[in-house]
Structure 1
């Protein structure tokens, strides 16, 4: 499958759920056909990591073409959602909470797996889960199971405090690396530009298109062994005039 795989599968599953309903098929009937439990079918229909063969079977039962659905999904713009201000503030104040959430939501690790890997006690793991529940990202179920209360893709808004702190940290670390390793492959370009607003906007659009082009290539090459991780940071800001040069007092020589 091509880029945005999880988004594509989520799009297909949403269409399958509607298709099964239109065909008058209950979860119990689908479960019987596929030889699994009804609970498994319910999970399967919301699992963006579902096996290809199972997704194909579900499409067939819903009288849908999987190829056509995927083509539609690739053409459909991503419906991106953002963390709320309260969620952003919680992650900014407690970076470890964001790390726990990322493992849980993006890497699909169970609470038990996270606790085992990071040596968390059951009570410590529970506190993380309750914190995520308190800011409305999950709902705690029985046996420490969780229900996600958000849709992927999700991220930080342009005004996010977490994003600002992360950017500041990246800029500082990048500058340290750049100046401490002058023989490295790092590249920096500072170019003051005097441009009309419309020309300036056109330049930014072209830069964005170039970066997007190579970002898509990155998703392909990222699975190959010779790919090297690099980061590109483009900053655009209004120039702040230097303070006027003061020649007094005159230094004593």
Structure 2
């Protein structure tokens, strides 16, 4: 392996160690702790990333890309094959806990991460709509934002109700969350909740009467 290839491989190994370290212990974890998890010196972390902030930014981007890929792969996998892969992987648990910690952290970094998560979700949802897998929405951005917030909020509540599960037990976090959410989620996504459209019809009529088209929280107007 050439020096350049070794450097690239080392960088990726450090990034992945940092993702796991941040997920397990939070974003206050030191470069020394990250280096120890990767089995290298703290100086090597600085060599590859320069600063903890730059390392965090790359970790965020990687987690979001892996999360997006996980969702796309799920849509491209037959239901029979998808559910035959249960229980879910430890790697999926790492992504889930990392996302949870990012949102819990709040502040500029947490807000930016959440916005990027919504943007990623909007991209693959629009693709799913175009392929006929998901029904279109009157306001796609608003629906995606709602679903992302519900998913993250549901994870926060689920783990709060099971304080005995350590966040660094990624497999247990994954299994506990999905054990209570798969069936109701699939029912709601597939069959809906109300038996007729009365509430939606009345709400849309109210908006029309007040000359207010459906908009999302960010003020995005629904496409005609």
TM-score of the superposed pair, with normalisation by structure 1: 0.31
Per residue, is there more helix in 1 or in 2?
A: 2
TM-score of the superposed pair, with normalisation by structure 2: 0.33
User: Which structure is larger by alpha-carbon Rg, 1 or 2?
Assistant: 1
Higher RCO by CA contacts (8 Å cutoff, separation 6 or greater): 2
